[in-house]
A and B are shown apart, each in its own frame.
Chain A
């Protein structure tokens, strides 16, 4: 069975400093991996996706993630945090053997200090 673990429940950074949100996955197959963001009182929005093409994936708002099969990781990074990045971030794996069913991590809350 596929699963995903987000290693930090909460991350706090200062504005202008780098962001690192960590995610490890477990999969018997070649997974599809995603990062979603949820701002307060909003639905989830897709940030970026990995679907077995380039291992470095660029998303919206300056975020990117690198798929590392040897480490079973898919960490999300951004070079310089902005106040508007404060939100909940979810790492997600797609269970391709169940019709693309999404399996969500527990989420990481990102705080950005001025």
Chain B
């Protein structure tokens, strides 16, 4: 186990539904990340939180709304999604996300496979 868990592992939702993805890390890390992994495309960084503060938002549509209530938990709230949002959503954590850091190993969860109908 990587120490990062994600629930649910699979989710099917309609375009009008509202759902949330949950990520929890048991590693005592200070930074957490959401990535989107689509078929035949590189991983796309969506959001970065450092010490519960959002430090990066990579032009993600507003239908994706992250929440980081504490350094161990990260949520991704979903509403009015489109079929092209179907993908594997990966959560990761790292010790820190400090400006100028040259290396910051990230530990990944198993992902949530999302299908939007």
Chain A interface residues (CB < 8 Å from chain B): 9, 30, 32, 34, 36, 41-46, 49, 51-52, 90, 94, 96-107
With contact pairs A90-B43, A105-B42, A106-B42 given, residues A43 and B99 touching in the complex (Cβ less than 8 Å):
no
**Interface contact A43-B109, CB-CB below 8 Å:** yes
What range describes how many residues of B lie at the interface?
20 to 34
Neighbour of A46 across the interface among B41, B100, B105, B113, CB < 8 A: B105
**Interface contact A43-B106, CB-CB below 8 Å:** no
With contact pairs A96-B100, A99-B100 given, residues A43 and B111 touching in the complex (Cβ less than 8 Å):
yes
With contact pairs A43-B110, A100-B94 given, residues A32 and B100 touching in the complex (Cβ less than 8 Å):
no
- Does chain A have a CB within 8 A of B60? no
Kindly report which residue of chain B lies nearest to residue A31, judged by CB atoms. B102
- Pairs A–B under 8 Å by Cβ, sample size 22: A9-B40, A30-B102, A32-B103, A34-B105, A41-B113, A42-B110, A43-B111, A44-B90, A44-B108, A45-B2, A49-B105, A51-B102, A96-B101, A96-B102, A98-B99, A99-B104, A100-B104, A101-B48, A104-B42, A104-B43, A105-B42, A106-B42
**Interface contact B101-A99, CB-CB below 8 Å:** yes
With contact pairs A32-B103, A43-B109, A49-B105 given, residues A106 and B41 touching in the complex (Cβ less than 8 Å):
yes
Q: How far is the CB of A30 from chain B (nearest CB, A)?
A: 8
Closest 5 CB pairs of A and B: A100-B104, A43-B108, A96-B102, A44-B108, A104-B43
Chain B interface residues (CB < 8 Å from chain A): 2, 4, 6, 40-43, 45, 48, 55-56, 90, 92, 94, 97-111, 113
Kindly report which residue of chain A lies nearest to residue B101, judged by CB atoms. A100
Q: How far is the CB of B72 from chain A (nearest CB, A)?
A: 17
Q: How far is the CB of A48 from chain B (nearest CB, A)?
A: 11
Kindly report which residue of chain B lies nearest to residue A102, judged by CB atoms. B106
With contact pairs A43-B2, A99-B55, A99-B98 given, residues A107 and B42 touching in the complex (Cβ less than 8 Å):
yes
Q: How far is the CB of A3 from chain B (nearest CB, A)?
A: 10
